[in-house]
Structure 1
Amino acid sequence: PFLPLVPEMKFVEYNDVDALERSITDKTAAVIVEPIQGESGVIIPDDNYLKEVRELTEEREVLLILDEIQTGFGRTGKMFAFQHSGIEPDILCLAKGLGGGFPIGATLFSCNDFEPGEHGGTFIGNPLACAVANTVVRVIMEKKLVKNSERLGSYLLRELRERDLSVRGKGLMIGIDVLDGKRSVLDLIEKGILTIYSRNTVRVLPPLIIEKKHADQFLSAVEDIEL
């Protein structure tokens, strides 16, 4: 449904800096990467991956574009996932969490390659969407929801590992490997828990406002079903 794709794009194995280096030529404009792959099943790269990608793009003088549409605004226990690696991208793509359910997207530039007005669109600057986004960011900061994501995410990961589950994640972005992702998600729905799946991974992305009692409710539901 997304065809035709943007021409002259190369797809490189995730978490493989050597493969990325081999793919960059003097015609490469930018490298686009997710700090954590969401739709693929919460795939977390090696600790030094993003730092090495940043060093490589600076050395080869190409832009680094980070897709934080899923990971941004506290989802991973930091305001932005790139902060776990101590780097800064040239361009940052944001959406989802910025609107708290209201449709909005944003593109942030730290580089000097663009001037105001060069990046535009029909719905850019919608007053209602921007007002919602301002409120969402204010609530995230005032309610310390980034810290809540880090605290409860660490708690969930620890408890799930103690149950001998194959689990990975950062903050409240968690993936659990299961035998049948669809069946597990449907079983959890019967227990009053909403999750999503990617093939054989249950993806757990609860609201940042959850409390420990909600985390415990999820853990109780996990114990009652066969993953």
Structure 2
Amino acid sequence: MNAQLDSGIATRSVTRQTFDDVLVPTYAPAAMVPVRASGLDLWDQEGKQYLDFTSGIAVTSLGHAHPEVNEALTKQLNTLWHLGNGYTNEPVLRLASALTEATFAERAFFCNSGAEANEAALKLARKYAHTKFGPHKSRIVSCLASFHGRTLFTVSVGGQSKYTEGFEPLPPELSHIPYNDIEAARAAITDDVAAVIVEPIQGEGGVIPGNPDYLKALRELCDQTGALLIFDEVQSGMGRTGTLFAYEQMNVKPDVLTSAKALGNGYPIGAMLTTTEIAKHLGVGSHGTTYGGNPLATTVALKVLEIINQPAFLARVKEANVAIMTNLLQLAADFPQVFGQPRGMGLLLGLPMAETSKGRSKDFTKIAEKMGLMLLIAGPDVVRLAPALIVSDAQIAEANRIMRAAVAEFLADAIDEPAAPRKEAPVPAPDAA
């Protein structure tokens, strides 16, 4: 169809059905269509209000439409948008300086997403190993059930076959080991390994915190073999776990760290952080991106970093963790037929389904959404909570009230179900990398 666009294209009526009509079906979004949000409150096309405990998958950590972030972006919108990588700009220089001052890193590379940040980290690791040791040192080790993005390279590294089926042949020299298994790591990380990439807390894999001893063992094995240790903090970073980055709590310093999601509070930006010695292996022309490090994205990220990286702000994240975890523990104790023991760090929390409710995390979140609470899943067996870091005590209490009401309907649905086993349609795991 090549018809001329009508003048009302920006205001034409659209519905959830429009998604099915015109978009590539890579997602299965909810029936409701959000149109407006502020803080943790969100409204759909029908005017119904929701409490958002998803943060756009751990992205809008300062809430929707944060006034200081909006003001910073608006000012930059009227100043300078884009230059191209033949020029630098002031906001990117300020952001790089701030991130290196706040972390172990000495150099920063900016891109547009978590997948791109991980792609850059993996390319850097290969380049570093080839230059320093030779082409035989090229293998990448990652963990089963991990998630590192959706490019062919990063999705192959992720170790979840459901995301790679049909995209073969996959990139070679990739190995996958069980998460938190030190012996498996010792067997896999040998002299031909260029890099080990790991999430300090697995997000899409079920909200599973890394064992500090395991992460320390990875650090030691990388030191012994000359491999680079890459921490994927796309989901766990920017205050989500109660420190700016989770590696600080683990007392393990990576060689390379990736960040995205909350770095821009919803404005697309990713970052790869590393040392000067390692960074020098990506010389002029060896890697790049058209939009990465543009003035708009880096202005937003700098304001986000300025707000989050404050002792009082991060202390509140830990305080909110205690309040939500207390509620989840009581919920699991009161309804052991529905939930197992909650887990997580900071405001990235997982509530596993009990054995008798396995495979039904999406059923529960759909009920909660109908009642006005937006939740996530981390696979079919885990309900995931990732509220904005500015969540209030009143909002925590309201989320607990709705979750308890949702349990009652969940149990009623289970009683009404026929004896025949349920046949669930596959639900694509959401991601923003």
Question: Normalising by the residue count of structure 1, what TM-score does the alignment of the two structures yield?
Answer: 0.93
1:32 partner SS: strand
Q: Taking every aligned residue pair, what percent have the same amino acid on both sides?
A: 36
- Counterpart for residue 83 of structure 1: 248
Query: Matched residue of 1:112: which SS?
Result: helix
SS at 1:22's partner residue? helix
Contact 1:44 1:169 in 2 (8 A): yes
Question: How much does 1:125 deviate?
Answer: 1.5
Work out the CA distance in 1 between the residues paired with 2:276 and 2:216: 18
The alpha carbon displacement at 1:199 in A equals: 1.0
Separation in structure 1 between the aligned mates of residue 287 and residue 183 of structure 2, nearest angstrom: 32
Report the count of equivalent residues.
227
2:374 aligns to what?
A: 194
1:152 to 320, 333, 337: 320
State the alpha-carbon separation in 2 of the partners of residues 78 and 120 from structure 1.
Answer: 30
Secondary structure, counterpart of 1:70 in structure 2: coil
State the SS of the aligned residue for 2:200. Answer: coil
Distance in 1, matches of 2:239 and 2:317, equals: 7
Comparing 110-119 with 53-62, greater Cα deviation is found at: 110-119
**What pairs with 1:25-104 in structure 2 (closer than 5 Å)?**
25-104=190-269
Match of 1:121 in 2: 289
Residue 131 (1) aligns with residue 296 (2): no
Shift of 1:91: 0.2
* Aligned: 1:208 with 2:356: no
- Aligned-pair distance for 1:187? 1.1
Q: 1:31 to 1:142 in 2, by over 3 A?
A: closer
Deviation at 1:72, TM superposition (A): 0.2
Q: TM-score, normalised by structure 2?
A: 0.50
Gaps of 5+ in 2: 1-149, 153-166, 334-338, 411-433
Distance in 2 of aligned mates of 1:63 and 1:16? 19
Please tell me the residue identity of whatever aligns with 1:152. Answer: A
Deviations, residues 142-171 of structure 1 (Å, cap 9, x unaligned): 584322221101211122112315211111
Return 5+ residue gaps in structure 1 as ranges.
none
Deviation at 1:111, TM superposition (A): 5.7
Match of 2:405 in 1: 224
Larger Rg, first or second structure (1 or 2)? 2
Q: Distance in 1 between matches of 2:309 and 2:231?
A: 22
Residue 111 and residue 8 in structure 1: after superposition, are their counterparts in 2 closer, same or farther (change >3 A)?
Answer: farther
Q: Over aligned residues, Cα RMSD in angstroms?
A: 1.8
- 1:79 maps to a residue whose letter is L
Which amino acid counterpart does residue 22 of structure 1 have in structure 2?
A
The answer to which structure, 1 or 2, has the higher relative contact order (CA under 8 A, 6+ apart) is: 2
